[in-house]
Structure 1
Amino acid sequence: MKKTNNTPTLRHKITTIFGYALFGAVVLSFLLTTVVPMVSALQYTTARHANIIVLIIVFAVALILPALASYLIGDTSTNSKKETLHRYNGVLFGFAAYWVAMLMSWVGFSTVFGVSDQSFPVPLIATNVAPVVLTIFIMTILAFAFAKKQKKNTSALQYLPYQILLTVSVVGAFVAPYISEAPYVSFDGAGWLVIPAIAVGIAYAVLRNQKMSRFALLSDAIIVMTIGWVSIWIADSFVGMLQVPYPLADIPSYIIGLIVFSTYLFLRVRRR
């Protein structure tokens, strides 16, 4: 009898591999698109070296720390001897942190703290570091509660507070920019909200035979969408380096995102 890759252990391994690969791609993208150009700028005598170094550090913290710290938090909070489950929960926490940080970034902390008119780098730090601190704080609270309430060998995907946080953060991250900039959002721009919704719907339908609650299944579908969405975001940074003409710039990124999204789903449901 053939088995599908919907079994928990295989699901954990597949998701973990994709999570690791995406994080590695994010780091590589940051090095090539941010660190290398900024370090190259240090050779100019007119460059303000301190400012460039601060920019690199702040951007590194904002881009890498939420997911990395949350991965470690999720891993540590897991009550199991299974390494695959530890890593899987870490990846789940990392994905959730991505959306929480994205949502927090729309708050505009430089304005909230009243430092938007201060000299560099105060506004930069307030805008980029505050969401990171708040995200890690939220994920730490979630992990503490998860460690206290979870049953042995349980994944975060089956934990209701995680499901709620993930869902609310994703919805908020996509809706927030359209609320804060409502007068400037066109119909075409708002139409892009449909893409992640369709991706979640497709993933939900494909994975519907899994033995888990509907909310857990929805969360799983959101994770699948996240894998595709982050792939688009990463690909876009690399495509930008190629200086592709504007009308065509998004096409390669969306194709890559679709390939990653489809590959992940295929591996999840294929029979062996």
Structure 2
Amino acid sequence: FSGYFSKDAIIEAVHHADIAGAGYAYYMVLFGVFVTAFYSFRLFFLVFHGEERMDEHTREQLHETRPVVTIPLILLAIPSAIIGWITIETVLFGGYFGNAIFILDDHGAMAAVAETFHGPASFVAHGFTGLPLYLAAAGVFSAWYIYLKKPSIADAAEQKFSFLYKLLDQKYYFDRFNEIVFAGGSRAIGQVLWRLGDSLLIDGLVVNGSAKLVGWLSGVVRQVQTGYLNHYAFTMITGLILLLGWAVLG
């Protein structure tokens, strides 16, 4: 399948690399092959095989996916099974990417892979002589044996390595860290901005402050509204004098 051609090409390139740390990287990608096969088929075996862990209500909700989901998956699966075979040589060693990818002269891993590449058929045959295929098979077998044949092994490992199990189950506590530091910190900053900006400045000063100012001015102006004609006449005369003074002196 296409994943085989892309992943094995990466592993081969790391294997032929001669830069610092390449040996360590090679063993890590080999370990990744085993782990990927192990957890992928662990998921497969737990979901589709073995003892059911669903209640009756959940079982009643099971149904086949609609064609709007199934048909695109089928249309994607068909080319994915053959496109790696067709395009591997062009993508890896041809001009498929043009000048988008540039390899320095000091990194000769891909050149070394190209020297041993003699077509997709030989590339597949070469896979039977390397470790990745057998490590992947070992991962599949380990998942089958531990989670279907001898599930007590998984239970015993969980009890014996409870700290490691909890560490992995909690994803190294990165989610908790993000929840407390980033999400919690963002919420705390939001609370401060809400109290200072929204409640105190906008609502307290601008909105409510404006209302209070208008109320205070209304209370002051209300003192002038006495209802006596002589007060109104005095106010009009005073205003007229001020207006004439401004016109004459201005």
Greater RCO (Cα-Cα under 8 Å, separation 6 or more): 2
TM-score when normalising by structure 2: 0.22
TM-score when normalising by structure 1: 0.21
